[in-house]
Structure 1
């Protein structure tokens, strides 16, 4: 059984269905338990989502979260308070789960995930990717801002494999609250900043071009001569395409070429 976690509000139900469709279509031999943490999704939306998951012979487990849990945490731009829920998920998930894969709903899965899901944590709490093309310049700034001079990098939380056994022992909500309160004016990508500041030395890095491909990067590299990681490489090697940023493939004016993958699973 593969456990998947998503945290979201009602606005992200349509892309969530596309993400789940892509997950199911490319992992037809797997059984999934889908856990969603939410605060403001209607009963009707939950029922329709449950029926959608059941039609694929998979299981959905909604988990209601009191919005007061992170009511004082900063949110801005297109981010919502639900982004913090992944940091507290170990307190809500069943005790018998030893690992779970968190996925942002603005992702499509285009290849099997089994090998990644069963990766060796090597005693780390999390497995994640840097978006190396965008963080190289910002790394020094992030280290100064978050006071992590020895950090290996700055990791994106959109794809986050979680070692629940160790997280239950080492991740404390009071530490997260304290960091947010002390640094709220410094937070740029709030939940991501928390993860990188508090657990930078307990994250195992993996290749972002395979396990968290930023769709914005493709628009840059396709303009370069002899560019690596072209479309055929992505089709064969990439597992997760992540539509980061404010421009999303379900918007009418989206022009990114990798939006074709989203459209494919939206139609299916």
Structure 2
């Protein structure tokens, strides 16, 4: 059974259902145990989500988190306080969960995730991908800003394979709190900054084009002569498409061609 973690508020329930539907459709031989960390979702919505997941033959474990856990942490733009819950997941998840895959709700799965889910951690706490097209230009700035001169990159937290057995031993929630308090005025992508600052040497890199394809990159790649990342290439090779940024495929004005994958599973 594969463990999947999501952390969100009620506003992200519709795209979450699209994500789950895409997971279930493209991993028909797998069983999933879905864990939801939340603070602000009505009971009737939790029950409806549970009925949907169970009807598809999978398990669902909702876990209420008191909003006081990160009440003083910075939240801005389209981010919510629930983004921090993945960093403290070891505090809430059952002890028998030894690995879990965190996914942002603005993601769709278009191919099987089995190979990625069972990636060898090689003594790392996390497996994550760097969006090189955007992070590469700011890499030097991020290393200076976060004081991580030897970091391998700046990793996106939207897809995060978590080694829970080791995280319980090595991650300290007080250290996270202290970092946020000390640096709250410098945090740009808050939870992502925390992960890259505190655990930069405990992250195993993954292929972003396969496991965390930034939909914004597809539009940029149109400017590249003889680009290889066509819709067909993505359909054959990519596992997880991530609709990063404030513009989302469920917005009417969204124009990105990769919206076709979101619409497929929305229907």
TM-score normalised over the length of structure 2: 0.99
Give the distance between the partners of 2:93 and 2:80, measured in 1 at CA.
21
Give the distance between the partners of 1:69 and 1:165, measured in 2 at CA.
22
1:87-102 mapped onto 2 (5 Å cutoff): 87-102=87-102
Residue aligning to 2:10: 10
Give the distance between the partners of 2:69 and 2:116, measured in 1 at CA.
31
Give the distance between the partners of 1:167 and 1:228, measured in 2 at CA.
37
Query: Any idea what the Cα deviations from partners look like across 1:47-69, whole Å, max 9, x if unmatched?
Result: 11011111211111000000000
1:1-268 mapped onto 2 (5 Å cutoff): 1-267=1-267
Give the distance between the partners of 1:169 and 1:129, measured in 2 at CA.
23
Note the C-alpha offset of 1:225: 1.5
Give the distance between the partners of 1:46 and 1:63, measured in 2 at CA.
10
Note the C-alpha offset of 1:232: 1.3
Give the distance between the partners of 2:216 and 2:171, measured in 1 at CA.
32
Query: Any idea what the Cα deviations from partners look like across 1:171-222, whole Å, max 9, x if unmatched?
Result: 0000000000110110000000000000000000011000000000001112
Note the C-alpha offset of 1:137: 0.5
Note the C-alpha offset of 1:228: 2.1
Which portions of structure 1, spanning 4 or more consecutive aligned residues, are displaced by more than 2 angstroms? none
Give the distance between the partners of 1:92 and 1:169, measured in 2 at CA.
14
Give the distance between the partners of 1:160 and 1:228, measured in 2 at CA.
26
TM-score normalised over the length of structure 1: 0.99
Q: Secondary structure at the match of 2:61?
A: strand
Query: How many residues align structurally?
Result: 267
Q: Comparing 51-60 with 161-170, which one deviates more in the overlay? A: 51-60
Give the distance between the partners of 1:68 and 1:254, measured in 2 at CA.
35
Query: Any idea what the Cα deviations from partners look like across 1:205-259, whole Å, max 9, x if unmatched?
Result: 0110000000000011123210122211111110000000000000011000001
Give the distance between the partners of 2:225 and 2:146, measured in 1 at CA.
36
Give the distance between the partners of 2:21 and 2:222, measured in 1 at CA.
27
What residue ranges of structure 2 are gaps of 5+ in the alignment? none
Q: Comparing 45-54 with 65-74, which one deviates more in the overlay? A: 45-54
Give the distance between the partners of 1:186 and 1:143, measured in 2 at CA.
13
Give the distance between the partners of 2:66 and 2:10, measured in 1 at CA.
15
